[in-house]
Structures are given as C-alpha cells and as structure tokens.
Structure 1
C-alpha cells in the first residue's frame, strides 16, 4: 500500500508498507464502528508488537556530558502555565559541547512500523555546567511564555507519552523500538516518558501531564534508566543565559483556605465555539447552552449528539452547533429542545501529535430536555457557490488554530465555522468509492479538476480540491444499508446532517441523518489494448500485502486482473509480496509459497506459466507490516522473454555496472541497488534485473519507495503541512538516479525501464529527482492527457503514486496505460491500479 497525499500523518494500519499516508498505506487504520477510540492513544494497536522488546545493551554507557535534563509536552494545553512545549539540555561535563551538528528529535509514545521522528536542529553550544532550552510548538492555552529559547522548532509533543532523543546529526532517526534506537550510534541521550514504547532501562519516566514535566535531579544522574532518573514536577525551563529555572513566580497571596469554585459560565453555543478553531472556554465549566438536537450517534466509541441554537448571532465565524460527548447511548432524540451544562473540551481525533483539527465538544454533560418534536434548524447548503476554491490559510508551517476564521475565503475555515451545524448537499458526484468503513467521498464543486471517469484530480500541493467532503451515516444499518458507490456515481437527492471532523477524511464529514441514493455513473474496469507480437509488455502492480493465508478469492482476482485486464504482460513487477507466513514475525523470509499460489492462480485463469525472480530481504529490515517482509518481485513469461541470471545478488550486496556499449551489464541479476545505504533503512530496496526480448537487452528496476507515514495531512492545523517523509524518498531517488545515469553513460542506447510504487506524485521532489526533470528518465504518466494522470484514490483525490519511467532511448517507442480496475471501485482487489507499457526495444 502507499500513503495518501500529505495525509500521511495518519499511522497506517498494521501491515501497510508504504501512503498516506498516503498516506504505509493510504488506507486508514481500522477503527471501531468507524469512529474514534478514546481509551487508547491513536496508533497503539500497531505498536503492541513493539512493546515487549527489551532495552539494548548500548544504553549501558551513560552520556558523560550533555543529557536531556527536562521534557515538557503540556505547553499551551488546558491547565498549563507555559504556552509552549520544551526540552531542556544540561552539560555535566568540564567542556562545552558544540551543538551545530545536533538535533532534538521526537517520536510518538506508541509508534507503528511507519512512524516518523520529527527533528529540531540545534545551533550554538552547550556550556560546561550550563543549560540549553529548545522551545517547541505553542498551544492555545497557558499564560506564561518560555524564557527566550536557544533553539526553536515546530514539534507538537504529547503531554503524556512520547520519546525525546538528543541526536548527533539532523537526519531523522528511523528506529521505532528501544533495541534499534539503542543500536543507533547517533543517539547521545534518550528519554521515554509516560507509556512510551521507546525508552531507556526498566521503563519510561512517569508523571508527565499538562501541568507537569519530567526532569533529572540537580545532580543530573544518568543511569540510562528513564524511570529511575526522572521525576515529575512543575516545569522549570531554563535557557543558556540562565533565565528561568524556577518556574513562573506567582503573585504573593495569603495562604488559601479553600479555593473558591467559579460557577459555570452561562453561555450560548456560539460563545463556546468562538471565532477560531479552538474554544475560548476550553477546559471550563459552562451551563445554559440551549438548542435543538440535530443528530444522535448511538454506536461506536464516540457516542453523543449534536444540538444547534435556532437563534444565531450575526458573526459567520461562530458555529451555532456543537457535539455533546455522552460516552454512552444518548437519551435525547432529533427535534428535542435541550439545555446542556458540562465542560468544554477541544478534542483532537487521533491525538494532538498527528496534526489534525480540533473538535470542540461538551463533555461530562448534564442534559435537560425542555420539549420534543421541534423542527430542526434549516441546514446550510454546501455547494459550488458556497464553498471557496481556496482550501486553507497559510501560517508558514505553523498552526492556524489561533487565526480568526475566514469562511468566505477558505474551505477549511468555512467547514470549521460550521462544525456541529446542520448542513446539506444536493446531488453530488462521488469522487471516493464506498470503503469498508461505510463512508464515501463526494465533491460539491463538480468542475474542480474532474478526471475523465468522474473523480477529482490532485494536481499539486497547492490544489487539494476544496469541494471534497466525506459522507458517513447516522442511520442504523438495520434500517438502511450504507450505499455502495463507485467513483463517477452520483449521490442523488439531498444528504443532510451535522458537520463533523474526521481524521480519516482529509476534510470534514457529513454525519448523514438523511442520505441520498446512488445513481450509477457507468464506469467499468478497464482492459488494456492488445500488444503486437513485436512489443514487449512490462507492468507494475502493488498487490497489497499478498500472503499465502489470504483468501483464494484474492489470488483469483489478482490473476484475473493480470490475465484479462492487463493481457498477461511479459514482465510484471509486483510490490508487497509477503513471506510464507505473512505477518507472523518469526524470522521466515522466503516467499516461494506466496508466489507459487499466485502463479498457479494465473495459470488457472488462462495465463502463462510465469517464473519469478526476487531476493529475500533481511528479516524485519524492509519496513511494511511487522513480520511480513514485503519485497518487490519479477514475474516473467519464459515463452516471451528470457531472464539473464547472473549470480552474486543478495539482500546486502550492492549491484554494480560493468562494460561499455553493447557489453554493458549488471554485476548481478537480480541485484539490489545500494541496499546498505541509510536511504533504504526500513524500506524496500530497488531490484534491478536484465531481460532479453528478441535478442535485445532490457534493464528493468522494480521499486517500492518509503511510505508517507508521519506526514501532516492536507487538512492539518499546521499550514502548509510538513511532508517529513519526503526527505528519505528524495535520498532514495537520488541514489537510483545516479545508478541509472551510470548505466546510461556506459551505454547511451541502453533500454531502461524503472517502475513501481514510488509513493509520491509526478510533481514531487522525489520523482523529479529520480528523472532529473526528464533528462535521465521520462515519467510516462506525464505523457497522458492531464485528466487521466492517476492510479490511486485517497480521501476523494485521484492521484499518482505508481509510475513507469523509461530511458530517453525508449520514450518515443512506447505505448503506456494506467489500467483502472481497483482505485475507483468499492470492490477492490488492491488499493492501487496496475500500469503497463508496450515497447519495442
């Protein structure tokens, strides 16, 4: 799988390898009843397999000078005094430490295989006996600024659980277990706190919260046991100048007897919502909020109801609706007039660290029903005219939470200003097929980048398509099944309900109280054109974590796609072939059972008797689903092409190039490109091979680049969102580009095909680095009409993740096709569409 465009702040479900994270995988993680799970931190299910790993012996050598002295992630949260998160360093040594090549890095407390570290580069030096303050992201709460930080970053730390590392170098760490982090010589000191999986010693430091940091004692003891070395207490940030260190000084007061309790504030709903993305009443008790119930969610782990004031104020920025979180089946019904008291909370679906929007809610509610059977407030109609073309304001990469909403200028602001309110859409084109979680995506802006088959095309980072909306349902499935729709269908009639935020949606979601009906748009799975006998056909197909224990129906459907829709290509590069026992993490790396089952299904479907070539990876070193050991594989039809077998290729030996002109060849076939380079850490290594077709040599390189896991979503409260995973893919692209350039220098007439799941877009820095802007390789997707440039649909955006690239010697002798058989359909065999090129060597 692959991660979504920019969406990838969302951890992939266990087993994703690549998007979103787009998106790892662009497919969202499983969630109970399609909704938010409030008990466990987001992503913890994917981290369970890591929790039992012991601490590596490398942590037995404590730092002799610089250490992490204090960690505080509660800055700006409810109850906090300080406005920012911070990390404080200290130096117990006798000499200053130059920090110009160091960074502070942060990892979530429950990392998955695709989790990414976030880094803040440091500058200056840490004096002997001195302190050094690193300020991180600000929240909306708190009253006291930090002492002037010595370095600043934009990391949004969790208040209660996470891992901080002092790292030599600024490249992001790749470890997600305590053992692997201990083995990384770049880690100078590491502190896990709360329930962090990655920590030193017997356990993480305990007690971190919105109001408490974890800190070493004055002696800076470092036994490499976080639980023993750190204690919780009031935050005491101190910078290199010696400012701070004792916490904010409270004004002198008489010893309190019993602090007075402030009475709940009497408020209207629009007072609670305010004119920004977060409530001015966050964490405060309120009472007297009145309105009409517009929707009831009586299932899942986020049960509650929406109610709306039928008497709005004159400010378009302030929503008149809000969600009341009951935690159990609500006792109200749509149309009830209610008065609600409770505590206001800005809830971040998925947690604060993933960067999504906050949802303002009333928690711990006391609900009084005044009357029943009242008309629901008239819905706000969302259409092409109402929704702005521009998606989100920019804050230079910072948070937009504190900015006053501008609903007439930005779609994300409009949706935030309507959060919790009754909204309606008319007949709308489906741009994201119904998924297994009973949700689909529509567009209310039908002229916004339409594809040829009815989707919405993702054309660039600055064009995330503001008309996209997710549709979910509040209607019990016992009453009416959720509609099954493909891209290009129409959700006909009106769909009405409260507007909610969903971290899996990439925008906001209508919680439908009434649902339209589906009218077919008529698309069908494509069949590629037939090749001439003189053309070699080469395809790529991400088969989504294929393992022997998958249902036979999946193997049969993949076989049908290859035989019928792709017309039995001569060579197929497959991505996400798992080992013989799938996700069982027991050291097995061979995949012959997976491939035997697939090739047998292909033959049974009337296809050729494919042979295969691949290289087993080192166990658990290529990313993806833990234990799955996914890899790229070549299938080939020996009746049409010959594979040039050349010994020497294995998991850790780099393939090279020898000879000149017609004598140019790979040192091993198959062979891996630079498998030991850090660019390929926890990622699939490119597989290079030689084939011959009618006596002509073909060099083919199969790829599955690093996932988009850890990227902030396009709907992030940080704008523009940070694409942190891009750094590794650019390094991978440059390595492969240099390999191809060397091959083409040895033989300027070499026929080279580079293909696979690059987990990035045709306009991305990674892909343009690989092609050298078309000088070294031609990205064939750019030769298609603009409206046909996609192979994947995520969050209602049709986009490119899979590519076929060819050398300049070939680009005028090819026919290229993306064969749409999966991404636009509710019934999918994989979440990727395959691609094929027909060429004459």
Structure 2
C-alpha cells in the first residue's frame, strides 16, 4: 500500500485550501444574488455557482479551524430546504485565523470555488468553498443546527454510482442520490455538522492524529474488531475518517476494536488522504477493546517454517531493532527462513552512493540473538544505487535470514544486481544457475522497483526454492472515494508485468522439476483477489496460501478502515497437494497505534 511522504502532515491541514492548480473555476465569473448555502452546494458534487461571486449568503458558524494553512470556518443554514441532495453546510476559507466564532449568525460575500485536495491529477472529489470572503456578523450566541446522525440506518449499502462514461468515469456531474449510494450520502452532508455514536475503531490512530471508525458494526467484521476488504465490490460503506479540531496531543491513541464512546461531532470535510472526514469539535471517550498481539505456534522438527516480514525502511539509525527481534523470536517463533522486505542500506536515506546493508542486517541478527533467538545467517544482493525505488537514498532490498541449525543455503557464485538467475535441470532436478540471484533484473517491469531475490535452500535433504518479492507499490492509484468510479488503479500495469516475470521464472523451475517445492512470497502490494495474484498463480504454478484462511481472517495491512491483503506467500502444487501446510497471518502491527511496521508478518509451515 502507498507510504506517506514527509509532506503528509502539512497536507492534512490544508484539505480546504484553495489554489489555482487544484480549483475548478469558470472562465467568466458572474454575479449571483440572494443565494443560500443549499443553492451554493447544489444537487451535484460541483457547485452551480463555481467561479461566481455570491453575496450575503446567511448561516450560523458551526466550527472554526485556526491552525495550519486551511484556516476558516464552517457555517450552516438554520432554515434548510427539503431536498436531501443539497448540503446545508459550507466551508469559508479565510486564509488567516477567522474572526467569526461558533454561534455567530453571519452573512458571507465571496467567490465559490471547488478545491480538489491533492490537486486535479489525484482524481479526488472536490470541496465546495467560499473564498476571498467578506464576513458580516449579524448576531452572536445563537444555537447551532443539530448534527445529522450518521449511522447504519442512514448510510446506504451500495457504495457509489458508476461514473459518467462521457466524463471519463467521473461522478461529478451526476445528481446525488443519498438514499441509494454511500458516497452520495456523504457528499450531501459536505460541510454540515454530523455525529457518530459509540463508533468502533477500524484503523488505529496514526502518527498524524487520525483514525477510522465504522458506523456499521456488522459490516464485514472480523473477530478482532476490524472491517475486512474482500473484493473490489466490498468497499465497506460504514468507514469514516476521524480527525480533530483540537490539540493533537489530546487525540486518542486507539487500536482496532476500541470504541469512541458517546458522541463524536463536527463538520464533514473531504480529505486528500481518505476522503470524507469528520473533523471533530467534540470527540467521544476512548473505550479499550483489549486487543492483544498474536503469537503463532512453533514449527515441529519436521516442519519448515517460512515467513515474510516488511520491516518498513529499517536502517541502522532506527530504534526498532529490539522490537523487530522480539517479534521474530516471540511472535513468529523463530521461523527457519525469513524474507525481509524494506531493508535499507547502511546509512539509510542519506543519498551518497552507499548500497551495502551489512550493518543493518547484522544489527537485526544481533538483536534476535539478544532476544533469545537463533543466530541467523543471511543472503542478499545489493541493488544498483537509486534504481530500486522506495525512499530516495535508502536502496531498499529483500534479504533472506535463515537458521543454519535447521536449514542450509545453496550458494552458487555469480549473483549481482544486474545478472539474471536462470534455471537448469541436473539429474532430473531443478537448480538455479546462481544462488542467490535476481530474476530478470533488466526487464523494464522492474524499473525503479525492487527485483525479486531467488535462492535455494535445503531442509532435511529436500531442496526448496524461495523467491522474495516486493512488487510495485499502489502509489498513484486513485482512492476509493475518488470522483472517478470505479477508481483507476494505474499502478497495476507495472505490477502485472512484474507478476508475469515471476510466474515465468516459476514455470522454468517446474518445467525442470514438476514436483519442486517453490515459494514466492513477500510484499506483493496487491490483494489475494487481484489481477496481480491471478497472474502470479498462472495456470496453477502457484497458489496464494492466505486463501486457506477464512475470508474474515485474510488481511495483512489496515488502510483507511479496510483490513486487506498486501503480503502473500504463494506455493507450488507439490506443497499445496499434500495439504500438509498451515498458514498464519500474525497480527502484531497493522491494528495497533504503536506499530513498528505497517505490515503484519506471514508464516507458512509445511513438510517438504
């Protein structure tokens, strides 16, 4: 799933800022008199007055935002119309700290603008605003309009209408139908004060003081309190992002399964990172759900345990080595082979040509020993500087850890960043030409992306081929709340090409040895039901073993209220046919606010 840039925190506070680059305006502004907020909002996502000046629009101030670049206030009409498609609230962008106070009755003269958080290239929906305002206070101390209650009865089960094909799939010009579609319902409340009650947390508090709740307690719920995303048609309509107009220090540190007890109330905004957002002026009281980190069972003497774990840009300057080591030893129970993703070079993000990762890996191995685990051996191939994507200068790569007391590695010289590994047949058995080696590293599919790392291992006399992957991220894909429905998943193009290359390599192994034990694992950055997974699986060369779990337990990552699969372990027919394997998604990170990585590790146990 996409990682957030350093600009993320600043961007959260500019969700309603107007800029020429991201505003929808008319070329010939006109003047409109005697309009009310519901006229400004109109019955579609784009105001009929976009680009026009409006005069003396009345409203009651319901909330103010005095921090960051998005300063202004929300106001709401005390005398709404009878059309449920027209919102009665709007944000007034003042650019400096607003002088208006909650409870003021005001009139506003200004220009209507449609601001697109993240810019028009993001595909996001726009926020209707009044900009360059002249604000007149009529009276103070007025009662604010009662909040609209957002609950499971109010939010439709269908997510969004299909976009207008004549408008490249945009829903902007479609008349809102808030009784039929969740996105239309939320849009009909844009800028209005809304309220949720006793809302269960479905994505933990992140470093930017935000969390996600659901207003539909039974929607695709799993036993740990989250909401599972199980298909492209299961967008989970009850999800809602929560931020606060108060101090970030006071924001609750919530885990999945916790509850914001009582009422959480505030204006409904649209945020670049998640879509519709309740910006709370009143936050509910955090009630713990008591969620605990999981521990898998230890493999038996005859079982080979193979794990994948994205350690999120680990470099020697990090303070998480002991925590990662404890997770590997105590929660994963010291797997025999661990594929690590996002191991950075020895000086992290400093971009000075360093590509080696020996210090990073040895520091982790030492921490594992200190935590009571085995002294792992390791193999990797250093990338060409700045050619594998990820954090600039970090040179992330995959690394094999293996317990030499349980498993051996078959070394064959010649592997480097640019030399491809091949497959040969020797006495009826498949073998790699180089080990460790990279798969087809010159293939354009791997441009600015991690190249798969392949290696041969031997366990109890049986060769096991392991391919460590970290496929192209979802960065650049349109969000689920985009104006284009269904959203465009542009990152799939490269990821599908990568999956094709991995599957072709597995085919080569199976052509040389039909019953070979092959595992392709890692951060696939895509779902178990995705086209990427289908290409990896091919015509049965591989099978994603997470599908052996009940649907409600299939997740490795929690993003915007959706628990989903990004990390996978795919197995060849020889492993699957025996049915003598066990899969575990070990939930130690994704559901917790104090996570040490944003991914949960996965473990496969089987008897070769």
TM interval, short-chain normalised = over 0.9
Partner of 1:434: 205
* 2:271 is equivalent to residue 502 of structure 1: yes
Structure 1 unaligned segments of length 5 or more: list them: 4-10, 15-28, 43-72, 82-260
User: Contact (CA 8 Å) 2:556, 2:599: kept in 1 or not?
Assistant: yes
| C-alpha distance 288-443 of structure 1, shift in aligned 2 (>3 A) | same
Q: How far apart are the structure 1 equivalents of 2:16 and 2:278?
A: 21
State the alpha-carbon separation in 2 of the partners of residues 710 and 540 from structure 1: 25
Q: Does 1:771 align with 2:540?
A: no
Q: Provide the secondary structure at the position in 2 that maps to 1:598.
A: helix
- 1:32 matches 2:10: yes
8 Å Cα contact 1:34-1:438 kept in structure 2: no
Q: Which residue of 2 aligns with 1:681?
A: 447
How far apart, in 2, do the equivalents of 1:600 and 1:327 lie? Answer: 52
Alignment-derived partner of residue 180 in structure 2: 409
Query: What is the match of residue 409 of structure 2?
Result: 643
Equivalent position to 2:562, from 794, 797, 819: 797
Residue 365 (structure 1) aligned with residue 133 (structure 2): yes
Cα deviation, 1:17-52, whole Å, max 9, x if unaligned, reads xxxxxxxxxxxx52228322788989xxxxxxxxxx
CA-to-aligned-CA distance 1:512-549 (integer Å, 9 cap, x gap): 11111111112100000121111111110001111112
1:335 has 2:103 as partner: yes
Q: 1:629/1:41 Cα in 2 relative to 1: closer, same or farther (>3 Å)? A: farther
2:343 aligns with: 577
Q: Which of the two has higher C-alpha Rg?
A: 1
Q: Are 2:95 and 1:324 equivalent residues in the alignment?
A: no
How many angstroms does 1:570 deviate by? 0.9
Is this contact kept in 2: 1:339–1:370, CA < 8 A? yes
Match of 2:590 in 1: 823
Do residues 744 (structure 1) and 510 (structure 2) align? yes
**1:557-572 → structure 2 map (5 Å cutoff):** 557-572=323-338
Matches within 5 A, 1:157-556: 265-395=33-163, 396=165, 398-477=169-248, 481-505=250-274, 507-551=275-319, 554-556=320-322
**Structure 2: unaligned runs, 5 residues or longer:** none
Three-state SS of the structure 2 residue aligned to 1:31 is: helix
Equivalence for 2:604:
837
**CA distance in 2: counterparts of 1:808 and 1:562, whole angstroms:** 28
CA contact (8 A) 2:557 2:590 kept: yes
CA gap of 1:368–1:41, structure 2 versus 1, over 3 A, is: closer
- Any residues of structure 2 matched to 1:84-163 within 5 Å, and which? none
Matches within 5 A, 1:702-741: 702-741=468-507
Between Structure 1 and Structure 2, how many residues are aligned? 603
Instruction: Give, in whole Å, the separation in 2 of the partners of 1:699 and 1:508.
Output: 45
Q: Distance in 2 between matches of 1:781 and 1:307?
A: 48
1:694 corresponds to which residue?
460
Return closer, same or farther for 1:38/1:309 CA change in 2, 3 Å cut-off: closer
Q: What is the distance in 1 between the residues matched to 2:17 and 2:127? A: 17
User: How far apart, in 2, do the equivalents of 1:677 and 1:80 lie?
Assistant: 46
Is the contact between residue 24 and residue 114 of structure 2 (CA under 8 Å) also seen in structure 1?
A: no
Question: How far did residue 427 of structure 1 move?
Answer: 0.8
How much does 1:663 deviate? 3.1
- TM-score, normalisation: structure 1: 0.70
Distance 1:486 1:592 in 2: 35
| Match among 554, 566, 575 for residue 810 of structure 1 | 575
Q: 1:696 to 1:361 in 2, by over 3 A?
A: same
8 Å contact kept, 2:26–2:52: no
CA RMSD of aligned residues (A): 1.9
Q: TM-score, normalised by structure 2?
A: 0.96
- In the TM superposition, what is the alpha-carbon distance from 1:416 to its structure 2 partner? 0.7
CA distance in 2, matches of 1:823, 1:642: 32
- Of 829-838 and 604-613, more deviation after overlay is shown by 604-613
Change (3 A) 1:263 1:78: closer
CA displacement at 1:341 relative to structure 2: 1.0
**d(CA) in 2 for partners of 1:37, 1:783:** 41
